Each structure stands twice: as structure tokens, then as C-alpha cells.
Amino acid sequence: MKVISRRSVGALLATALGTFLVAVGLTQTPVAAQGAADQKMEQAFKNIKSLNGQSAELLLPTMVYFEAALGVGCPYCHDNDAAKRELDTKPTKQVARRMIEMVNAVNKNTFGGAPRVTCFTCHSGRPEPIGMPNVIGQALPPALGEDYYDNLPAAPAVPTGMSAGQLLDKYIAAVGGEAAVQKAPSLMAAGTVTQRRIGRPFPAQQVEISSKAPGMELIVTKAGQADNLVAYGPAALWAKAGNGAARNLRKAEGDATRLEDAFNLPAQIKQLLMEPKVERPEIVLGRELYVVSGRTPNLPRVKLYFEKESGMLRRLTYYTESSFGQYPTQIDYTDVRDVSGRKVPFTWVISQTRNREFTWAMQNVRAAAVEDAKFARPAAAAASQ
């Protein structure tokens, strides 16, 4: 919101009332008195550039519709002097003209002239449309209008005096530091993954995770007859579903697999996260957390949420690029326990699009020797390529 009205609700109401008088009564010829043929907008009003050709009767309902569709008042686009609606003093009025032209063009070119796309289609009662698809647990900004936003407490400031690198170091130290990883570089875990979707139950599946620092992982999910496998390591980045052939992961999928590796994340986050930056703290599940953002070679945006006191990672969100915008995947870590001096999460929840939520719950995580060969892509499938 670039234009902020500082008026009280009462003043806004008074303005709106005054405007009605100005628009339909005082400065213009009343349209009702025009007889059979309505005046056109450009005949009845002073500075019409986009609504030309339409009946002047529609001007005020159109302005009220703009208010409803964007959740704003008249002065969001118009000069604060309610008697001078013709002035182009605010950039939002120019933006609104471009929007009118866009909506007209879309309906003409794509919907055969039927008014299928409206301001509300994108704006949903908010001055700035929500461009990003939602995943479970993300609160949408409410569509309550500019008065509501103007009276919100100020967002917490970006913390000064601490760098992204320091927050990452604090996290790495909190989970035991490099020394703990060197003492127990490889882990074996067994547990379940359970998908939840509103209104649709799924059975838990058994999973086995083999992990080796700083960046090797094999996940075996028991899925009926044949297992589903996903693995990455210095020489391998592959997945195999059931009896199908192994395939290479796409580049973005590979980065996502690394970020989703709950055990090796501390050992490789500093290498993975490019251009790390401290952001405004955010409230997650009722607590204010430090936020570090950045990107990976193949994912446009990653956000890490750290506990203020302990430095522990509570949430990681990464965004995947598509031809039409980005969508998020969110990982929440809970139930962190000690395994041979390393603090590792036993439970984490991955929220994805379509409101799918996958709970990974480990019953058992232990230090154990794991051969590098375990992470290699299955030879038969590799030969068949």
C-alpha cells in the first residue's frame, strides 16, 4: 500500500457522503435529468480516459465497486480534496486506469467480451493481490481494508548487530557443532511418514533414512510391493518409484531434497544458502522468530526461522519457480533429541500445495556406519539410460 490514508473512519464516512453530493448533485448535471439517452462518462465528468463510452450513470457504482474490490476508500486513488476527483494527484489513480484497460482487454480477448475477470478476481478485497498460492498454516492477510492496515502495530524491525552468518553459526552450534558431526557422521533412522489431507485419511508408511555428513542421504519408503527411493550425494541425485526405472532428480528438486534432509541440514546449510540476509522477525505458531532468507543455485528463495534464545531451527520454507510464479513448501521441525552428541529432529512436518501435510516421525535414530555405495544410483537402471 503506497498511499496511506490517515483519516479516521468518521472522517472517511463524511468524505464519502460529501462525495456523493459532489458527484451526483452539485458540480455535475444530475444524470437522472438527462432524459432517454444517458450521458457518457466523458460528457458528464472532467477527466475520463479509460471509462469512455460507458453511461455516466455507472460512474459512482463503479467507484464504490473499486472500494469493495480493493478494500480502500476514495482517497486511496483520489486527491484528498473530495471536490477535486478529476485531479490525477495520486499514482494509484493512474495504476487503476491501467487496470481498467487490462481488465477490458482480458475480457475482450479471452472471454469473448463477457465480464468474467473483475477487479475482485485478483484483488479479493486487498489493495495488493496475494500472488502466492497458500499452503497449510499460512495466515492470509485479512481483506479488511486500509483502515485496518493503517492501525496495525508496526512490523518488528530487521534486527541490527547480527549477521545472517552469525545466526547460522548459532544454529550449527546449538545442534552440537562440527565436532559432534565428526564424532557421529552417519545416522540410520526408522519411522513413519503419514500424509494428511483435510477430509481424506491416509495410512502411515514405514520409512528408513540413511544419512552421512556433510551431504548424503537415502530415503526408503515402504509402499506395498516395491519401495520408493530418493537419494542424493556428491555423485548421485536420483529417485526410483516402485518397480519403475531410477530417474535423475530435476535441479530444483535436487536442491529441495538437500534442504529437506533434516539430519544433514546444519552440515550443509552454509554452503547451500546463497546471499543470506537477515529479515524482519516473524511470528510462527505464536512465537517471534529470527528470519534469514537467501536462495540456492536452483531455488529462488529460502527462508529459515530460528528460535531467538536457543538458536534452533523451527521452520524452513523454500519456494519453487514455475512459468507463472513461485509456490512454497514449508517444513516445521519439532521433537529434537540427542543422538551421540548431535541434536537431530525426530519429527518434522512438510506442508505442500493442495493442503497436503506429511508428518515424518522417527521412532529410532542411531549412529551407524554407512557405506558411500549405498547412495549410488541403482546400476541396472543407470545402464538402461
**Sites of contact with ligand HEC (CB under 6 A):** 1-2, 16, 19, 23, 45-51, 59, 63-64, 66-67, 70, 72, 74, 76-78, 85-86, 92-93, 95-97, 99-100, 103, 117, 119, 121-123, 127-129
- Please report which residue ranges of 124-176 form alpha helices under DSSP H: 146-150, 164-174
Min CB(30)–ligand HEC separation in Å: 13
User: Among 20, 310, 58, 273, which Cα is nearest to 171's?
Assistant: 310
> Cis (ω within 30 of 0) for the bond into 297?
no
In 3-state terms, what secondary structure has residue 14?
helix
3-class DSSP state for residue 318?
strand
**Measured distance CA(93)–CA(85) in Å, rounded:** 10
Shortest Cβ 138–ligand HEC spacing (Å): 19
Nearest residue to 265 via CA among 337, 344, 192, 336: 344
In the complex with ligand HEC, the residue whose CB is nearer, 5 or 320, is 5
Gyration radius (Cα) of the chain, Å:
28
Q: How far is the CB of 26 from ligand HEC (least distance, A)?
A: 11
Shortest spacing between CB 132 and ligand HEC, in angstroms = 11
Given the complex with ligand HEC, which of 5 and 264 has the nearer CB atom? 5
Q: Which three cell numbers stand for residue 125?
A: 478485497
Choose between 116 and 251: whose C-beta lies nearer to ligand HEC.
116
Cβ of residue 39: shortest distance to ligand HEC, in angstroms? 12
- Identify which of residues 70 and 272 has a Cβ nearer to ligand HEC in the complex: 70
CB of 135 to ligand HEC, least distance (A): 20
Our CB check for ligand HEC shows the closer of 134 and 194 to be 134
For residue 382, what is the enclosing H or E element? Answer: helix 379-383
The alpha-helical segments, DSSP class H, found in 248-315 are: 251-260, 265-272
> Measured from the CB of residue 179, what is the shortest distance to ligand HEC in angstroms?
48
Partners of residue 347 on adjacent β-strands? 334, 361
For 264, residues 6+ apart whose C-beta sits below 8 A from its C-beta are 211, 212, 213, 214, 215, 216, 217, 258
Nearer to ligand HEC, 128 or 338 (CB): 128
Strand partners, 313: 306
Please give the grid coordinates belonging to residue 235: 555423485
We find the least distance from the C-beta atom of residue 120 to ligand HEC, in angstroms, to be 8
Q: Are strands 216-223 and 313-322 parallel, antiparallel or unpaired?
A: unpaired
Q: Residues 302, 319: contact at Cβ < 8 Å?
A: yes
